[in-house]
Structure 1
Amino acid sequence: MNYPPKHHQETDFTNIVETIKQYPLATLISAKDSEIFTTHLPLMYNTSDGEFGSLIGHVDKFNPHIELLQENIPAQVIFHGPNCYISPNTYSTTQFPTWNYIKVHISAKATRITNNEDVIASIAHMTSTLETSDNPYVLDTKNPRAQALLDYIVGIKLEITSWEGKFKLSQDKLPKDRKLAKEVLIQESRKDITAFLDNIL
């Protein structure tokens, strides 16, 4: 049995990579015996490792998850693209409520990056990739404060062994309804979150 249904499975790896690049904050999952370890962290896609490339990041050295990020230990990574509730009122035809989303599931082999210069270089690359302002911050890898970070973090590489795209975007609906659902997803992605943040901060 194929799940999710075939029309909700993304088969173009280019779209998988684009999702990773656009939404780099990932959920990293590992398991030991009956205990699950979960860490949220940004990961950068790197084309140079294995058949599908790898994901590069770093974790606080006091995070207990570190124990399971060693030589070729299996890990799962989830990237979370846009998502939203789709009301039946969205469609031009009679439908039920649903939730549309883009998710990428990655299976990988986890290893540590032991060379400090490679770790700090990966942080500099992440910073330059994520900076979008007109006057972007540039991380000076030789700065003593930047070098001091290396005492508190562990660099990790996740070589991708397999991948799955779960793109539930009303593909089973009429073209007109699919377009209407897409418009709602775009609107929700641009939704003002000021009130929400004001309540929790």
Structure 2
Amino acid sequence: MANANRQFQVTDPAVLHALVRAQPLATLVIAHDGALHANHIPLYPDPTRGPNGSLIGHVARANTLWPLLPQQAVAVFHGPQAYVSPSWYPSKALDGKQVPTWNYATVHAHGALSAFDDPVRLRAILHTLSEQHEAHRPDPWSIDDAPPDYIDKMLRAIVGIELAVERWEGVWKVSQNRVDTDRAGVVQGLMAEGTPAAADMAALVRAALVA
């Protein structure tokens, strides 16, 4: 990621946090004893913890990740992505010298990953996660809807994790390296695909077109 084309790099924390909130399922990777360990865990940003904020979530107590902590880790968040056909570029008609590519938006968060099992803090995490993901529903579920003894049992079955972010990296590869007419062609081609994923990428390319 550090070697990504500068043209594609995004550093605005608000933009990076927005993608994390929209796509919270992180691929969380650590190295231990020469082996890589990857987990897929929903995380949410807490900008109030540390100079670069933290990412917070939880894993099952049976998960083999948390006994290995603390460790350096990277959390990878994937935003919109889409195949881009060279047939969408008007410039292809000039000399045919175009090839396919792939557009995407990603965030990498590097930092120190630690574990905790304070029940008060774990309960607060569950409140935060459920409120964030239930808020748009007409009848949102709340942790308080479940019997207290049941929640207490569930709390004993999980362990909290926190990634104290030392460095954020964002890459938005959304056809910024193309001329405006080609970018407009990419938007048109993506919209013609008729899928939500293609429409999401078209919105990012369109934003780069008018920037």
Q: State the TM-score bracket (shorter-chain normalisation).
A: 0.7 to 0.9
Change over 3 Å in CA distance of 1:111–1:96 after alignment to 2: same
Q: Deviations over 1:74-99 (max 9, x none)?
A: 11100010101111122222231000
Q: Deviations over 1:130-151 (max 9, x none)?
A: 1121111111187221221112
- Greater C-alpha radius of gyration: 2
Q: What residue number does 2:168 align with?
A: 163
* Structure-to-structure mapping, 1:6-155, within 5 angstroms: 6-70=6-70, 73-94=71-92, 95-131=98-134, 132-140=136-144, 143-155=148-160
Percent identity for Structure 1 against Structure 2:
31
* Structure-to-structure mapping, 1:179-198, within 5 angstroms: 179-182=184-187, 184=190, 187-190=194-197
Q: What residue number does 2:208 align with?
A: none
Cα pair 1:169 1:181 within 8 Å, conserved: no
Change over 3 Å in CA distance of 1:63–1:4 after alignment to 2: same
Change over 3 Å in CA distance of 1:133–1:77 after alignment to 2: same
Q: Deviations over 1:123-171 (max 9, x none)?
A: 1110110112111111118722122111211011111000111111111
Question: Which ranges of structure 1 fall in alignment gaps of 5 or more residues?
Answer: 192-201
Change over 3 Å in CA distance of 1:187–1:124 after alignment to 2: farther
Please give the alpha-carbon distance, in whole angstroms, between the structure 1 residues aligned to 2:180 and 2:67. Answer: 48
Cα pair 2:111 2:164 within 8 Å, conserved: yes
Which is helix-richer, 1 or 2?
2
Offset of 1:50 from its aligned partner? 1.2
Q: What residue number does 1:195 align with?
A: none
Offset of 1:182 from its aligned partner? 4.3
Please give the alpha-carbon distance, in whole angstroms, between the structure 2 residues aligned to 1:99 and 1:166. Answer: 13
Please give the alpha-carbon distance, in whole angstroms, between the structure 1 residues aligned to 2:173 and 2:20. Answer: 17
Q: What residue number does 2:177 align with?
A: 172
Please give the alpha-carbon distance, in whole angstroms, between the structure 2 residues aligned to 1:169 and 1:80. Answer: 14
- Using structure 1 for the length normalisation, give the TM-score: 0.86
- Using structure 2 for the length normalisation, give the TM-score: 0.82
Question: Which ranges of structure 2 fall in alignment gaps of 5 or more residues?
Answer: 93-97, 199-211
Please give the alpha-carbon distance, in whole angstroms, between the structure 2 residues aligned to 1:56 and 1:32. Answer: 21
